[in-house]
Amino acid sequence: MPNDFNYGILEITDHRPWPMPASPWVMRQTWHDLLFAHWPIDVGRLRARIPAGLELDLFEGQAWLGVVPFRMTNVAPRGVPSLPGVSAFPEVNVRTYVRAGGRAGVFFFSLDAASSVAVWTARTLLHLPYYSASMQCETRDGWIHYSSRRTSAAASPADLVGRYRPTGDAREPANGTLEHFLTERYCLFTADHASQPHRLDIHHPPWPLQPAEAALTVNTMADAAGVRLPGVAPLLHFARRQDAVAWMPAPVG
């Protein structure tokens, strides 16, 4: 598997809300063909599902939940080459937005991946709620066709089936907009087995967002997290590619 990771992203930092960590980054990955599908959710419904120590982050008083399918390549520790069968796989996550320690980030309800190695590593080392899934992602007639069925034992069933595509030109989201709030996040928060909140910093260039359309014929990803999506059309954005690096998690505060 060729490594086409763009290390030039490490020099693109003016857009960041805070400096990159002084310690070395430990993981790289490239994200392809992302769909950001977001729904407005009742604040009380989401707040009850956020771990202690994290504060729900709102945009003009509104909470949001995202379902984000994509595929990954170049997934490997720093200094390790990409490996066939390990470094490339589809993933879909369910996320909302939180604050802790004065910083805004992402909180994942779940991350489903078609890689048992990635699932074990992320659950063990990063305290992230990864689940194994049977997944397919392919491009046909200009559409990204996507399907995912969770296969982890003793986990709530979660399925996503549909197709999506971009419908316009890419642009960076302007600061202060909803698109910026939903995508320009440079850390994620999780909790360890003792319910201690941790922050994991990431870095990437500004998102090249495109308007999108989608037909999601099956979507029980949020139901598996105990959240019922409202009966309204989601806010949709597409991104063709994003290269990113990540640091090890550290306790908040």
pLDDT in tens, 60-69: 999 999 999 9
Q: What is the pTM of this model?
A: 0.96
Q: Stretch 166-194: mean pLDDT, rounded? A: 95
Superfamily of segment(s) 30-244: Acetoacetate decarboxylase-like (2.40.400.10)
pLDDT in tens, 19-36: 999 999 999 999 999 999
Task: Enter the tokens of residue 212.
Answer: 């999108």
Output the DSSP codes for 71-93.
EEEEEEETT----TTTS-EEEEE
Mean of pLDDT over the chain: 95
In the prediction, which pLDDT does 220 show?
Answer: 98
Task: Enter the tokens of residue 237.
Answer: 């954005």
Would you place residue 2 in the very low, low, confident or very high pLDDT band (cuts 50, 70, 90)? Answer: low
Give the closest residue to 108 by CA, choosing from 202, 8, 173. Answer: 202
**What residue spans define the domains of the chain?**
30-244
Q: Is it the case that residue 193 has pLDDT exceeding 80?
A: no
Give the closest residue to 155 by CA, choosing from 113, 191, 189. Answer: 113
